[in-house]
Structure 1
Amino acid sequence: MTEKKQAIRAAVAAHLISTGLTGHGIRALASAAGTSDRMLIYYFGSKDELLRESLMLVVEGLALQLDQEIGAERLDYADLLETLTVLCQQPDWRPMITLWFEIVGLAARGGEPFKTIAGQIADVFVDWIAAHLPDSERHSATDLFAHLEGRMLLTVIGR
């Protein structure tokens, strides 16, 4: 991947974290990246691919941040859930959590590329969770992800 493409992807990712997904046409995304809409199409082929790559960059960053916070240690289900709950409730995580629920809402309506992107993001986090559970509890990774997601939803709506 070229440096220019990486820079565009990073700028769009930062823009989406701070502003969300709705109301952003290709020109608005180009403006946020400091380039033209034609250059976005040149580098990514479509707005959908730009969104997918930018959102996956956010996910990669979150997984790295979780690795730094938790390390390679394996925690049992309850301890991992509590640790992740505390981390995800930190104020600096709020924009990413809000963005996730926006993606999920758009995916729930069956809209592409969000249905596909939501599935890819969920797969990354379920795999990450499984890698941080003891072997005997890895089968519970999807359940833990759903449990954490429910907790975050309640936090986002102020409950």
Structure 2
Amino acid sequence: MPTTKPVPSAREQELLERAYAYSLTHGLADLSLRPLAAAIGSSPRVLLFLFGSKDGLIRALLARARGDELELLKSLRYDDRPGLEVVAKELWTWLAAPERRPLMNLWVEAYGRSLVAPDGPWADYARSTVEDWLELLKASQPDGESKDAQARRTAVLALLRGALLDLLATGDLDRTTRAVEQQLKTR
């Protein structure tokens, strides 16, 4: 029988939101509970009580970050299947927006950690985000079930991820946007 986690208390939710804001600025890789607790108006003991462990807190923060991504994916669902290019352009606009840089930096950190520490709190993060994005892209394709459609959406996802990494490394929005748009025209 599966167990369900109880609904978080208002205090737990408040501290999670504060910790999430902190992690967007400071990252998660070197997260230390003392500085985090001091910055968000709590104590390490309270955080451990609410989240069970540092790993539990990291899992909660990753779930919170993934929640932001899933909200985007829900907002981009289409009934008329506008095509891969249209949806990919909208995704790029969302990903590349300057106000999303902290979230995208956190995403890159979590994605990378998920690959090198697959058994820790990062477990499955990379795979889950790939599946989420591929599902959205599939929903945009009239022929989404075919092997060719699967290959096209995989290529588009690789293009978006590569351009995002380049954008985060260089800050060159114009160049990366032109590259994405040029590549999408050839699909």
* Interval containing the TM-score (normalised by the shorter chain): 0.7 to 0.9
**CA distance 1:67–1:11, change in 2 (3 Å):** same
- Once the two structures are TM-superposed, the CA of residue 119 in structure 1 deviates from its matched residue by 3.1
Distance 1:121 1:48 in 2: 19
* Unmatched segments (≥5 aa) in structure 1: none
- 1:9 aligned partner, one-letter code: L
**Alignment correspondent of 2:56:** 49
**CA distance 1:117–1:28, change in 2 (3 Å):** farther
The structure carrying a bigger helix percent of its residues is 1
- Once the two structures are TM-superposed, the CA of residue 45 in structure 1 deviates from its matched residue by 0.9
| Deviations 1:87-127 (CA, angstroms, capped at 9, x unpaired) | 21110111111111111222332362224333334344334
Larger Rg: 2
Matched, 1:12 2:24: no
TM-score, with length taken from structure 2: 0.70
**How many pairs were matched up?**
157
**CA distance 1:88–1:32, change in 2 (3 Å):** same
* Unmatched segments (≥5 aa) in structure 2: 1-6, 171-175, 177-187
One of 31, 34, 38 as aligned partner of 1:27: 34
Residue identity (%)? 24
RMSD value over aligned CA atoms? 2.5
TM-score, with length taken from structure 1: 0.81
Distance 1:56 1:9 in 2: 10
- 2:29 aligned partner, one-letter code: T
Contact 2:73 2:136 in 1 (8 A): no
**CA distance 1:135–1:104, change in 2 (3 Å):** same
- Once the two structures are TM-superposed, the CA of residue 143 in structure 1 deviates from its matched residue by 4.5
